Amino acid sequence: MSILVTGGTGYIGSHTVLKLLERGKDVVVLDNFSNSGPDALRRLEDIAGRPITFYKADILDANALSKIFGTHNVEAVVHFAGLKAVGESVGKPLEYYRNNVAGTLTLLEACRAFGVKNVVFSSSATVYGSANPTPYREDMPTGGCTNPYGRTKHIIEQMLQDLHHSDNSYNVTILRYFNPIGAHPSGKLGELPGGTPNNLMPYITQVAAGKLPKLNIFGADYDTPDGTCLRDYIHVEDLAHGHVLALENLGGCNVYNLGTGRGTSVSEIVRSFEEATGVSIPHVITDRRPGDIAVSFADTRKAQRELGFTAECGIHQMCRDSWRWQSFLSK
């Protein structure tokens, strides 16, 4: 029995593939390389120390999916494949709806055709919108997303819940990630930001590498202890481990936050990065970024209680590992 990992050469998918292989699982990876490539696959195989069963295929391609499901005895799908750039989704909404929503629909139709009834899905804390109080709990109302990317996640969550309600032999686990950062401790796997990064950690590592002159801290006048925004940063290794636990505990239709339960401010991240790496990060305070909320962090009790999930890595390790990955990229 195999586990099909869509988007398995991407940032979070590749870390999860390694954890599944470590557990002795038979893994089949599918990716269209729109945001990764053969290099990532090679590095993944290098760390795993063995070849990986891989298909360069698109989740929108029903024929390719049929071939994969027809060849392998797939017991579960871990579905990472998707476009994820918030800003880009505003300019290209149809591309996001097609790739993420229609892609997931095509994938789920293939699952149905081949009787595959176990699905783990990559959602995001963005589905909590801006009206809920923190910490975010899984039973809070969702929606009110401010961009097409977030709306695709919300729509897919509903598609999956509807599927389970139509036939409760489908086991669906929706994982809402908070802010994934960090990289594989080998320094050979990590996030590939296309162009100038929008997210904080890749921006910081590029400043550290001298590729960007300084970090702009988007607002220091929020109602937080130091005035900068608080986020729940989680190491990608912890996040990957959460997927293994989700697979081991599939049953019914469940939603879990994957975060640490702690908010860290932008200024604290900058300070921690400098402490952890010894590299200083020139920075200035600028205006707020439109659409940002002051505080976002997870209530982690449900994942702890039902999956036995606890994030282990601290901010210093997240910074060190992110920097090791950036240093690898800069070589």
Residue from the set 31, 88, 237, 238 that interacts with ligand NAD by CB under 6 A: 31
Report the nearest approach of ligand NAD to the CB of residue 82 (Å): 3
DSSP 19-54: HHHHTT-EEEEEE--SS--HHHHHHHHHHHTS--EE
Q: How far is CA 134 from CA 140, 200, 263, in A?
A: 10, 21, 10
Catalytic residues: 149
Q: Are 322 and 197 in contact (CB under 8 A)?
A: no
At residue 301, φ and ψ (nearest 5 deg) are: -65, -35
Q: Which of residues 191-230 bind ligand UD1 (CB under 6 A)?
A: 198-200, 203, 215-218, 229
CA 208 from centre of chain: 23
Radius of gyration in angstroms for the set of CA atoms belonging to the chain, rounded to a whole number: 19
Q: Which does 35 bind (CB under 5 to 8 A by kind): ligand UD1, ligand NAD, none?
A: ligand NAD
Nearest residue to ligand NAD, scored by beta-carbon proximity:
10
Q: Is residue 324 packed enough to be buried (19+ CB in 10 Å), middle (13-18) or exposed (0-12)?
A: buried
124 sits near ligand UD1 (criterion: CB under 6 A): yes
Q: Which of residues 150-169 bind ligand UD1 (CB under 6 A)?
A: 150
Q: Which of residues 21-60 bind ligand UD1 (CB under 6 A)?
A: none
Q: Are 214 and 208 in contact (CB under 8 A)?
A: no
- Residue type for position 174: I
**Site map for ligand NAD, 108-127, x if CB under 6 A?**
--------------x-x---
Residue placing its CB nearer to ligand UD1 in the complex, 104 or 118:
104
Q: Which does 142 bind (CB under 5 to 8 A by kind): ligand NAD, ligand UD1, none?
A: none
Residues 331, 311: Cα–Cα separation, whole Å: 31
Q: Which of residues 255-314 bind ligand UD1 (CB under 6 A)?
A: 266, 289, 291-292, 296
Residue placing its CB nearer to ligand NAD in the complex, 99 or 142:
99
Residues 10, 330: Cα–Cα separation, whole Å: 19
Q: Is residue 198 packed enough to be buried (19+ CB in 10 Å), middle (13-18) or exposed (0-12)?
A: middle
Residue placing its CB nearer to ligand NAD in the complex, 121 or 213:
121
The b/e string for 35-63 (b: 16+ C-beta within 10 A; e otherwise) is: bbeeebbebbeebeeeebebbebbbbbee
CA 210 from centre of chain: 26
Report the nearest approach of ligand UD1 to the CB of residue 307 (Å): 21
Report the nearest approach of ligand NAD to the CB of residue 194 (Å): 9
Residue placing its CB nearer to ligand NAD in the complex, 7 or 242:
7
Q: Are 20 and 27 in contact (CB under 8 A)?
A: yes
Of 25-33, 212-220, 273-281, 320-328: span binding ligand NAD (CB under 6 A): 25-33
Report the nearest approach of ligand NAD to the CB of residue 320 (Å): 19
Report the nearest approach of ligand NAD to the CB of residue 187 (Å): 17
173 sits near ligand NAD (criterion: CB under 6 A): no
Residue from the set 4, 5, 59, 215 that interacts with ligand NAD by CB under 6 A: 59
List of residues contacting ligand UD1 (CB under 6 A): 86, 124, 126, 150, 179, 198-200, 203, 215-218, 229, 231, 266, 289, 291-292, 296
